[in-house]
């Protein structure tokens, strides 16, 4: 690939990056609406152990009032209900994800369709004992959301967060970048997400917001698929590629996805197949 391609790509990237981030939120929401039906099989079943390990470290008081931000299909909210014996509130921007959540866990939890930050701003101070946010912090504004979480927690209350790190899927992201650098004119939208580099950054942000970080962890979890097309199907079904389907011009989408699949096969294949690795961060903070 020539330097001219890379220059054209960077120019387009910078120009599109100037667009308001509301556009990204809308694309992410509609991506999750679309994949809601298959999300649990593709993501929750693979990752539930990591979310459960984090919940195991919380010490909710009897009758804890729980709030689960970016709750998706409600697995974490339902687990909080089981552990605390109360009705947690799950909040998510995707009505499609919440349809599944209500069907699966409506007997034990309440679910609200809302942007997480807007929802928090509307809540009274000190109204929650436990706040959780599973695999969604990078989609919302971490600094502002943490400020609101501190406000809604009662003194001694805890927040538990687990999310993909900035370096999650870096080989996949590199392949996607190369794909668009080969065809810069296909790039139509740049996703504006805010994944953090690691748990130390999250702990630092928690401390700066007035929480006492009590636990941090970083790690990774992989799965293996046979082909690039299979990788794209799985990345889409898990929500890991949320919004990527809108990154290319509609009329060039098929060509871009086919190039992306071939690049994945070339750059991510190992002896066992094509390995996709999610790197994650987790932290718990307690309000002083």
Ligand X SMILES: C[S@@+](CC[C@H](N)C(=O)[O-])C[C@H]1O[C@@H](n2cnc3c(N)ncnc32)[C@H](O)[C@@H]1O
Specify the residue, 25 or 269, whose C-beta has the smaller distance to ligand X: 25
Q: Is 245 in the site for ligand X (CB under 6 A)?
A: no
| Distance in Å, CB of 160 to ligand X, minimum | 11
In the bound complex, what is the minimum distance in angstroms from residue 276's beta carbon to ligand X? 15
Are the C-beta atoms of 187 and 180 separated by less than 8 Å?
Answer: yes
CB-wise, 205 or 235, nearer to ligand X? Answer: 235
How near is the Cβ of 74 to ligand X at its closest, in Å?
8
C-alpha distances out from residue 239 to 20, 72, 244, Å: 22, 10, 10
Site for ligand X in 90-119 (CB under 6 A): 91-94, 97, 115-116
Letters for 138-167 (x = contact with ligand X by CB under 6 A, - = none) are: -xx---------------------------
- Alpha helical stretches, state H, the chain: 3-17, 22-39, 45-56, 75-84, 95-105, 116-121, 142-152, 170-182, 199-208, 228-238, 253-268
Q: Is 239 in the site for ligand X (CB under 6 A)?
A: yes
Buried-state track 237-265, b at ≥16 Cβ within 10 A, e below 16: bbbbbbbbbbbbeeeeeeebbebbbebbb
Angle at CA of residue 113, ends 110 and 119, nearest 5°:
90
Residue 224 structure tokens: 């293996």
∠ at Cα 270 (267, 274), nearest 5°? 70
**Nearest alpha carbon to residue 276 among 161, 198, 175, 181:** 175
**Residues 47-76: x where in contact with ligand X by CB under 6 A, - otherwise, as a string:** ----x------------------xxx--xx
Distance CA(97)–CA(276), nearest Å, equals 24
Minimum CB–partner distance for residue 75 and ligand X (Å): 6
**Residues paired with 111 in a beta bridge:** 90
By beta-carbon proximity to ligand X, the closer residue of 72 and 213 is: 72
Q: By CB under 6 A, is residue 177 in contact with ligand X? A: no
Residue number with CB closer to ligand X (25 or 258)? 25
The residue behind tokens 């060509």 is: 255
Helix 75-84 to helix 95-105 angle, to the nearest 10 degrees? Answer: 40
* Residue number, 48 or 262, with CB nearest to ligand X: 48
Tell me which residue has its CB nearest to ligand X: 72
Token look-up 């994944």 returns: 195
Residue 243 lies near ligand X (rule: CB under 6 A): no
Nearer to ligand X, 41 or 226 (CB): 41
Q: How many residues sit close enough to ligand X to count as binding (CB under 6 A)?
A: 25
Interface residues with ligand X (CB under 6 A) are: 25, 28-29, 32, 43-44, 51, 70-72, 75-76, 91-94, 97, 115-116, 134-136, 139-140, 239
């Amino acid at each position: 690939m020539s330097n001219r391609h890379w220059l054209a790509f960077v120019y387009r990237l910078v120009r599109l990056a100037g667009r308001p981030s509301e556009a990204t939120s809308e694309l992410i929401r509609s991506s999750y609406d679309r994949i809601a039906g298959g999300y649990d099989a593709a993501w929750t079943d693979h990752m539930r152990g990591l979310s459960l390990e984090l919940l195991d470290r919380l010490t909710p008081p009897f009758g804890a009032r729980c709030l689960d931000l970016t709750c998706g299909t409600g697995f974490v909210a339902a687990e909080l209900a089981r552990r605390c014996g109360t009705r947690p509130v799950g909040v998510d921007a995707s009505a499609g994800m919440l349809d599944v959540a209500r069907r699966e866990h409506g007997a034990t939890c309440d679910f609200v369709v809302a942007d997480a930050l807007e929802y928090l701003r509307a809540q009274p101070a000190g109204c929650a004992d436990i706040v959780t946010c599973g695999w969604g912090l990078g989609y919302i504004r971490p600094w502002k959301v943490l400020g609101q979480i501190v406000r809604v927690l009662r003194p001694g209350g805890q927040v538990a967060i687990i999310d993909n790190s900035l370096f999650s899927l870096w080989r996949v992201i590199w392949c996607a970048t190369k794909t668009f650098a080969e065809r810069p004119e296909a790039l139509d939208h740049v996703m504006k997400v805010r994944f953090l580099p690691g748990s130390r950054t999250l702990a630092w942000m928690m401390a700066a917001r007035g929480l006492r970080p009590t636990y941090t962890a970083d790690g990774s979890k992989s799965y293996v698929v046979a082909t690039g097309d299979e990788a794209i199907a799985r990345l889409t079904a898990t929500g890991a590629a949320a919004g990527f389907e809108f990154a290319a011009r509609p009329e060039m989408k098929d060509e871009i996805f086919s190039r992306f699949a071939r690049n994945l096969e070339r750059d991510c294949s190992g002896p066992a197949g094509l390995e996709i690795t999610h790197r994650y961060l987790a932290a718990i903070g307690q309000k002083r």
